Amino acid sequence: MDVRLSGCMMRLAGVALFSMAISGFCAQAAAPETRLEYMSIDEINQRMDSGQLSSVALVRHLLARIERLDKNGPAINAIIELNPEALAIAEAMDRERKGGYTRGPLHGIPVLLKDNIDTSDQMQTSAGSLAMVGQPAAQDAFIVQRLRAAGAVILGKTNLSEWANFRDPAISSGWSGRGGQTKNPHLLSGDPCGSSSGSAAAVAAGFAPLTVGTETSGSISCPASMNGVVGIKPTVGLLSGSGIIPVTHKLDTPGPMARTVRDAALLLNAMVGNDVADPIQKPHNLEAVDFTALLRPNTLIGRRIGYPAKFDRDALALQVDPHFSRALELMQAAGATLIPVELIDPLSEQVEEALQMGIKRDLPRYLATRTGVPAATLDDLLLFNAASAEGHNQDTLIAASKVVFDEQTYNQLWQNIQGENAAAIDQLLATHQLDALVSDVESPAMNVVPLAGYPGVMVPSGIDDEGAPTSVYFFGPRWSDARLLALAYGYEQISHGWRAPAFKP
């Protein structure tokens, strides 16, 4: 399930063209103009403010692109459902802008949501399961309330690995009974990774400038890496999990996915807020943090950054991932001090049991909030799946239904797991006096960071010889999200690692 249970992380044109010089980010691509579907949030806002573009025109452009590339052509299948109200919302945002009122950087900006995030509109919230299709959710998830207040246009829902990859370990990443199989837009035969596969593939393919994924253990970082986009896995508790179909509140978090660090930070800003219903509360001093404030050039100067020691002494590592080696060279040239470190994965023995207990505890509580769908309980869900004609197993859900749950044991399990994984990171930070750490996608960080509940930012670093994206993972201690984004931004500005997908077979 996610990274630790599936091991997926360890495997490694538009309707209208608008002339605009690339602003450094895609400089290596040497393209003479930026297509509308790949414009940044700042570029879109500049055009909207000048009257050259409207939210309605942008939404129509993206809907046409989705029809052409997601439903036809390469058939990425990243979109599980479109919002029939999207154009009406865009029209309302355009009227506000014409009247001299804008709500902020996301005013009139289309956003796609993973299909495990509640919306109280005409769309389903199903986690990709036919057992959850029926009456829509009664109210918006907290982060959706924040997005609507910020003026975002909820464009639709994205496909995912069913039940966030916690139905059965044998089911392929990016598949759901309701949505089918999502493809990787860079390599159509490649792995889109799970479970936020649709969110990552959609933003990579230019179906929306911003998408929201969720992660328990790897479900933002892995798809971001495999689809070549920026993914932020926030510190657990920074963003509210209320109204999101859960695995365990101990690890679950929504997170932004975008094509640039700044765009992802703008989306993060819009979703942060104090939700009294969220079981994990963040420090009060984070309420007013602007996650774009530290995004400046030269943020790597003088920073001490740990990196996997295998790249310091192992020629094989350099051969396997030359792009990561090149990333280290760029960071050092930009003024960072790089220190080789050994991050030890504690290999917590009871993670699987703790995750199963989380499902047994938290999923029924969520199901109780939904009416008019076939699965009102975990037993209902198991019976529905057993009677379906999909031909897929549900071993993880069955195991969760059978696990013996005790709240005290559950809390102690997670205290131990999170404590030992946090200690593995904290010890390196303290011993080497580090500002942060970076990792390739074949290193223990992919397991340790999410199990610690710590933040991580995945940033594209290029494309390999086969046409698959490569990436760099920045991570650090709890609540260091803003600092990590600054470092990731500094790297992004010198690496120009993002590439538009080629839709190769």
Mean pLDDT, the chain, integer = 92
| Sequential DSSP letters for 391-454 | ----HHHHHHHHS---HHHHHHHHHHHHHHHHHHHHHHHHHTT-SEEEE-TTSTHHHHHHHHT-
Residues 6+ apart with CB under 8 A from 56: 87, 90, 91, 94
Catalytic entry in 6, 40, 54, 114: 114
pLDDT over 50 (residue 26): no
Residue 350 phi/psi, 5-degree rounding, is -105, 20
Count of residues making up the chain:
505
Q: Which pair of tokens denotes residue 39?
A: 């414009």
User: What are the pLDDT digits (tens) for 348-405?
Assistant: 889 999 999 999 999 999 999 999 999 999 999 999 999 987 779 999 999 999 999 9
Higher-scoring residue by pLDDT: 322, 288: 322
Question: Residue 195: is the preceding peptide bond cis (ω within 30°)?
Answer: yes
Catalytic entry in 55, 173, 199, 219: 219
Q: Is residue 219 flagged as an active site residue?
A: yes
Alpha-carbon span 139 to 149, nearest angstrom: 14
pLDDT over 60 (residue 6): no
Helix-then-strand count for the chain, H and E? 18, 15
Find the helix or strand (DSSP H, E) in which 302 lies. Answer: none
pLDDT in the model for residue 153: 99
pLDDT band of residue 34 (cuts 50, 70, 90) is low
pLDDT band of residue 313 (cuts 50, 70, 90) is confident
> pTM higher than 0.85, yes or no?
yes
User: What are the pLDDT digits (tens) for 125-137?
Assistant: 999 999 999 999 9
Nearest Cα neighbor of 109 from 158, 56, 55 is 55
Neighbours of 12 (CB within 10 A): 15
pLDDT over 70 (residue 13): no
Residues 6+ apart with CB under 8 A from 203: 112, 209, 210, 211, 227, 229, 257, 258, 259
pLDDT over 90 (residue 286): no
Catalytic entry in 6, 40, 129, 195: 195
Nearest Cα neighbor of 3 from 204, 198, 251, 203 is 251
Indicate the class that CATH gives domain 27-505: alpha beta
Lowest mean pLDDT among 279-293, 323-337, 350-364, 461-475: 279-293
pLDDT over 90 (residue 443): yes
Q: Is residue 114 flagged as an active site residue?
A: yes
pLDDT over 80 (residue 17): no
Mean pLDDT across the stretch 496-500?
Answer: 96
Q: Work out whether strand 304-308 and strand 456-463 pair parallel, antiparallel, or are unpaired.
A: unpaired
Alpha-carbon span 319 to 303, nearest angstrom: 27
388-398: b (≥16 Cβ within 10 Å) or e: eeeebebebbb
Distances (CA, A) of 255 to 96, 162, 232, 502: 28, 18, 5, 26
DSSP one-letter code for 244: B
